[in-house]
Amino acid sequence: MYRDGQSVNLQLVQEGHAVVYRQYLSGCDATRDRYLEAEDQAKQQRLAFWSQDNPIMPWDWRRGDRSSASPEPMAVPAPLQSTANSIAQPAGGDYNCSDFSTRAEAQRILDADPSDPYKLDRDHDGEACESLP
C-alpha cells in the first residue's frame, strides 16, 4: 500500500512498528534489501517494537509461544553461542557474515536454508560470505 508515493509498509518497518516476514520476501527482489535494511536500522536504534528487552516475534505470538525463549527474542544481536554438536547461533536469531570466523561456518547456515533469509549469499552464486577465509 502506498500513500503519497511512499510505501506504508516500508515506513512501518523503518519506524519499528512492523517486522519483516522473511518467508514472504522471495518474490520481492526489487524491495527486499530495503525492507531488511530498514528493519536492521530500527533494531539498532531500538525503535518501537525493538525497544523491548525481549520482544516476542509475531509468528511466535500467534503460535502461542509467548516466552522470551523464542529463536529471535532479542532486538540487539548478542555474541555467538555454540555447543559441540550444533551450529553456532546468535542470540538474536539473525545471522550476518561478521558472525562467522570462516566461510565454512556460514555455508552450513546457507545450506540449511537455501532461501537465504539472512543474505549470506549476496551475489546468489551459492557461496556464503565469500569475503571470509
The CATH code of domain 1-76 reads 2.40.50.90
Distance, CA of 91 to CA of 10 (rounded, Å): 25
Distance, CA of 127 to CA of 75 (rounded, Å): 28
Lowest mean pLDDT among 22-36, 66-80, 87-101: 66-80
For 27-44, what is each residue's pLDDT tens digit? 888 888 999 999 999 999
Whether the model clears a pTM of 0.75, i.e. scores above it, the answer is no
Residue 59 parent element (H or E): helix 58-63
Provide the 10 A C-beta neighbour count for residue 88.
16
Query: CATH 2.40.50.90 occupies which residues in the chain?
Result: 1-76
